[in-house]
Amino acid sequence: MAFKNTITPEIEKLTELCSDNSQIDLSLYGKYDVKRGLRDINGNGVLAGLTDISEINSFKNVDGVKTPCEGKLYYRGIDVEDLTKGFLSEKRMGFEEITYLLLFGSLPTPAQLADFQELLRSQQSLPKNFVRDVVMKAPSSDMMNTLSRSVLTLYSYDPMADDISLPNVMRQCLNLIAVFPMLSVYGYQAYNHYIKGKSLYIHNPDKKLSTAENILRMLRPDKKYTQFEATILDLALVLHMEHGGGNNSTFTTHVVTSSGTDTYSTIAAALGSLKGPKHGGANIKVVNMFADMKKHVHDWEDEEEVTEYLKALLHKEAFDKRGLIYGMGHAVYSISDPRANIFKTFVEQLAKEKGREKDYKLYSLVEKLAPRVIAEERHIYKGVSANVDFYSGFVYSMLDLPTELFTPMFATARIVGWSAHRMEELINTDKIIRPAYMAVKEREEYISLNER
C-alpha cells in the first residue's frame, strides 16, 4: 500500500477545526505572568537549572544597570577565545582536547590527551554490517533524520542500552561522539547514491587522524584535503560544541534525561530539536537565503538594493516568507556572538583561497546592514548581531560540504555538549523536569453523541 502523503480537503477542514478550537488569547500570558518561550518580556530565560559546563555572557553591570556588551562564551570557566587561540597557535586540532575539557571538567595534560585520543579511536567503530543493514537502507533526504534513525537503531545493538549507571552512560556517550562523523557522512553518501544517483563512496576513518580530518577524508571521493581546510572545520566543530543548558537541544537533553530514559532516546530527541531552522537548521537557511538574495539583488555592493532585499525578508515577501533574516540574532547574545567573531577572522582567508571574495563581501555587507534593518522593524531591547550560523554555512560550502551535512556537522560537535549535560543531569538532579501549564479553557457539559 502506498504511503498516504496527500493532505485531503477533509484533513484541511479538520486542521481548521483544531486551529479554531486551540486559539489562546495572547493577553492571558501577561495576565498570568506566563513566560512565553520560557523567557520574560525582556528576553531573559527563566532560570531552570545550574551548570558547571559553560557560561554565556552578553550583559554587564554598568552603575547598577544591566547593559548589553560584547558576547563571551566560557567552556568550564575558560574563555573560548583563549581555548581556540591555544590550540590554533600550537598548530594542533582542538576538537578532541576540548571534548575532554567539556566532559571531564579540566584541560588534559599531554599524556591524558594522548590516552583520550586513543580511547576515542577505540570507540570509532560501528556494529558489524551496521552501514549495510541500517545506514544504506531507506535513505532519507534529510541527514538529521537519517542520523536520528541510526542513533535509535544503535539501541538494538547495545546489550546494556537501558543501563543508566554513570560509567555505562559515559561509554555510550563516548561511542556516539566517536561514531557521529561516520553516521553523518555515510548517511549522506547513501542519499547521494540512492536518491541522487551519484557514485557511492564509503571510506573508513583513518585511526591516526583527528575528527575534522576524518570527516573530510570520508566525504571526499579522493580522500584529499588541505591542512587549512581541516583546521577551519576543526575550529567550526569547537565553536559549536557547547552553549549552556538553555539552548533548545541541550534543554531537551536535560528534560529527556530527567525521565530516566536511555542515552539513545535522549540523543535522538536532542537531534530532533537541533534540526529546527530556528536552532541548528539555521545554517542551511542562511546559505539558501543568500542564494536567493544573489538571484534577486543585481549589484551585490549596492547598500540600498541589499537593504531593500533585507526589508523584503522581514516583510515576508522574500525567500521563505517567514519574516526572518537567518544567521542574525540570538536569544542571549546582543552586540556580538563571540563564536561568529572568532570564525570571521578565518572566513576571509578561506574565501580568498577559494576565490569566493565576492560572496564574502556580500556576507560582510549583510552583517553590517541587517542589524539596522531589524532594529527599524522589530522591538529590539538588546541588539541583534550575526550569530555563529551566519558564517558556518558559508564556510562549509567553501569546504565543499554538501548543504545536507551542515546541520549534522553541528550535531557532530554538539553531541559533546549534550553528553556533558546528560552526565551532569544524572550526577546532580534526581528529579523529573515537569513544569506547569495553566488550563484556560472553561468547563463544558458533556453532550451525548446523538444530541450534538
Ligand X SMILES: CC(C)(COP(=O)(O)OP(=O)(O)OC[C@H]1O[C@@H](n2cnc3c(N)ncnc32)[C@H](O)[C@@H]1OP(=O)(O)O)[C@@H](O)C(=O)NCCC(=O)NCCS
Write down the least CB distance from residue 309 to ligand X, Å.
13
**330 an active-site residue?**
yes
Least distance (Å) between residue 243 CB and ligand X: 8
The nearer residue to ligand X, 102 or 331, going by C-beta atoms, is 331
What residues have CB less than 8 Å from 190, skipping those under 6 apart?
Answer: 135, 136, 139, 146, 200
Nearest-approach distance from CB 44 to ligand X, in angstroms:
10
Half-sphere exposure (Cβ direction) of 43: Cα atoms closer than 13 Å: 15
Q: Which amino acid is at 151?
A: V
Q: Is 243 one of the annotated active-site residues of the chain?
A: no
Q: Which is nearer to ligand X, 108 or 329 (CB)?
A: 329
Q: Could you list the residues that contact ligand X (CB under 6 A)?
A: 43, 278, 282, 314, 324-331, 374, 378-380, 382, 384, 387-389
Within a 13 Å sphere around the CA of 138, how many CA atoms are in the beta-carbon half?
A: 6
CA angle 142/103/416 to nearest 5° reads 10
Closest CB to ligand X: residue number: 329
All three cell numbers of 186, joined, read: 555515510
Cβ proximity to ligand X: between 365 and 374 the closer is 374
In the complex with ligand X, the residue whose CB is nearer, 119 or 335, is 335
Closest distance to ligand X from the beta carbon of 389 (Å) = 5
Least Å from the CB of residue 334 to ligand X: 7
Question: Distance of CA 341 to CAs 81, 91, 200, 349, 361, Å?
Answer: 9, 20, 37, 14, 16
Distance CA 81, CA 94 (A): 12
In whole angstroms, what separates CA 363 from the centre of its chain? 21
Which residue's CB is nearer to ligand X, number 216 or number 415? 415
| Contacts of 50 by beta carbon, 8 Å cutoff, 6+ apart | 428
Sequence-ordered list of residues with C-beta below 8 angstroms from that of 226, at least 6 positions apart, any chain: none
- The residues pairing with 386 across neighbouring beta strands, listed in sequence order, are 328
Give DSSP secondary structure letters for 325-372: -TTB--SS--S--HHHHHHHHHHHHHHHHTT-HHHHHHHHHHHHHHHH
d(CA 359, CA 369): 15
Say if residues 301 and 360 touch (Cβ distance below 8 Å): no
Residue 57's H or E segment, with its range, is strand 54-62
Is 443:31 a contact under the CB 8 Å cutoff? no
Instruction: Please say which residue, 149 or 382, places its beta carbon nearer to ligand X.
Output: 382
∠ CA(327), CA(329), CA(331), 5° rounding? Answer: 125
Q: How many other CB atoms sit within 10 Å of the CB of residue 237?
A: 26
Neighbouring-strand partners of residue 293: none
Active-site residue, selected from the candidate residues 330, 337, 359, 421: 330
Q: DSSP state, 78?
A: E
Instruction: Tell the smallest beta-carbon distance from residue 118 to ligand X (Å).
Output: 34
Q: Which CB sits closer to ligand X, 30 or 260?
A: 30
Q: How far is the CB of 183 from ligand X (least distance, A)?
A: 23
- Cβ proximity to ligand X: between 43 and 272 the closer is 43
CB of 412 to ligand X, least distance (A): 17
Residue positions annotated with a catalytic role: 330, 389
